[in-house]
Structures are given as C-alpha cells and as structure tokens.
Structure 1
Amino acid sequence: MSAQSVVPRFTVITLGVAEMRRSIAFYASLGFARKFQATGEAVAFFDTGGTVLALYPWDALAHDAGVPDAPRPQAFRGVTLAWNCRSEAEVDAALASAVEKGANLLKSGQQTDYGGYSGYFADPDGHVWEVVTAPGIDVGEDDRVHLPA
C-alpha cells in the first residue's frame, strides 16, 4: 500500500483511567452505550455515534505507548473532548447531568466571545470535556455534528 492510498480517519479516542470500574460506570451513566463487553474490565468501548471512546488502565496505556506512567499530570493536558449541543438549555442540562454522575464542574455554561455558549467538566480522571453550542456548527437529528462546507 502506498502513502497516497492511505485515507486518514479518526476512529477511537482512548483515555487512560485509574479505576476501570469507576470510569466504566461514569461513562455508562452519561448515556454512552458500552459495546464489545467481552473485554470485561481490561478495556471498555463505548459507541459515541461516530467514533469510539475507549477506556484503558492508565499504566497499561502508558506502557503500550512507550512513555512513563508517572508522574501523572495534575495540570491541564492541552486536550479537551467536546460534546456539542443544540441549545444553551441543552448545554446546561448536560453539564448538570455530568456533575450529578460524578464529574467535576470546571466552568458553568456561559456566553463565549464567538457567539456560542459553553461550559466545562472533568471526568473522574481529570479528562476535560467542553459542552458547547456554537454558531455554524449544527447538531442534526442524527445527533451528529454537521459542519458547513
């Protein structure tokens, strides 16, 4: 296969987690459907409607990638996951739901400088999620993000 025939695609986001059982319960409680459960707690896969969210033990993921598993960062990692919504009310409801299920609210929903509305939460392992509605980015009836051409 030549480099010209390679088609780039984003298929899976894998998060390193400290406690598989806790993280599996958290993401299931958010409403993500767990798939391929035959993997038990070795790795967990969730259908997100377009890509897959995978959970894997932090130390095993670091070992697999060939990087040290400590020290674990306590500061912002320079990455966020996004949950796009149709309205400000949906942003607020999603933030409240995540916090109710064990997330840490980092920033409540508020107007953005680009005309949107967003807030942030962190999952039990500190992975940061932005919950947002943004002008020009539409969430369709299929719950997928649709970008303008």
Structure 2
Amino acid sequence: MAKKLPVPVPRLTVITLGVSDIRASIAFYDALGFSRRLKATGDAVAFYDTGGPVLALFPWDQLAADATLPDKPRPQAFRGMTLAWNCATREEVDTVLAFAVSKGARLLKAAGETDYGGYCGYFADPDGHVWEAVVAPGIEVGEDRRVHLAA
C-alpha cells in the first residue's frame, strides 16, 4: 500500500518579476510607494512589502536561468497575467493610474466601467508587466492594505 503524502497548505507568498534594468525598476517601484525590505540585497534582488504577497524584482536573464528557461525572445505581447492594485473607490483607481503614469508607467487603458459593476484601468511598468487598478464588488481593501473577499 502506498504511503499517503501529507497535503501542504496552499499559499501564494512571492510574485517575482523579471526586469531588464534592476536599478531602474527599483526606482520605479520605490516611486510608486511600495516599501522595500531586505535592502542588504542591494541590486541583486529587491523585495517589497505589498500588504499581502511579497513583490520581488530580479534580473530577467538570471530569473530565466534559475528556472532553466531561455531568456530570449522576450515577449512583447500580452503574457497572460496581470497584477492588481485593488482600490477602495473609483476615485482611487483614477489616482493610482495617474500616479503610476507620473512615475514612468505606460497607460494601457484609461479607467472605465466594467461589465461586472466595477471600475478599472491598466498600466504597464517599465518592463511591460501589466497592472490593473480596480475597484470591484465583493472585494474590499481594508485598513491593513489586505484584500478582503465577500463570502
């Protein structure tokens, strides 16, 4: 009889973005106001407190090598993934988009009504990683900066 393996507790703890210029990316995410932690890593890797999973920045070619994948060609098209900056109000969505653009992001889609009763827009960071600024029914942002989902 096969031994039953223990079931691990699922969790998402870190999102690592491969970046072309780590110094420029650190400057961008610092400018957005994310709180950098473990600064002793210097320019090797950067970790940010997001109020939930950690956001990490790592040189693109080194991240690809670590995952044993080729680092080229680098996709210019949609990568099938977005990061979300959930907001408390529609006004906050507009503020986040304008702020991100003022810090070097590229506006992909101006904020507007969604078909599910929300409000969102999109921007891309300097490496093209897509962020959604959004307020959505059933998703609240608490004072703890964490997202709380309706039951």
Cα distance in structure 2, aligned partners of 1:45 and 1:109: 28
Question: Counterpart in 1 of 2:82?
Answer: 80
Cα distance in structure 1, aligned partners of 2:77 and 2:51: 29
Question: Counterpart in 2 of 1:54?
Answer: 56
How does 1:1-149 map onto structure 2 within 5 Å? Answer: 3-149=5-151
CA deviation map 1:50-80 (0-9, x unaligned)? 1100000000000000100000000000000
CA deviation map 1:62-113 (0-9, x unaligned)? 0000100000000000000000001110000000000000000000100000
Q: Secondary structure at the match of 1:4?
A: coil
Gap runs ≥5 in structure 1: none
Cα distance in structure 2, aligned partners of 1:4 and 1:123: 39
Alpha-carbon shift at residue 4 of structure 1 (Å)? 2.5
Identity %: 70
Runs of 4+ residues deviating >2 angstroms:
2-5
TM value normalised by structure 2: 0.96
Gap runs ≥5 in structure 2: none
Q: Secondary structure at the match of 1:91?
A: helix
Cα distance in structure 2, aligned partners of 1:43 and 1:112: 36
Cα distance in structure 2, aligned partners of 1:61 and 1:13: 12
**Highest Rg: 1 or 2?**
2
| Residue correspondences, number | 148
TM value normalised by structure 1: 0.97
CA deviation map 1:15-41 (0-9, x unaligned)? 000000000000011010000011000
Q: Secondary structure at the match of 2:43?
A: coil
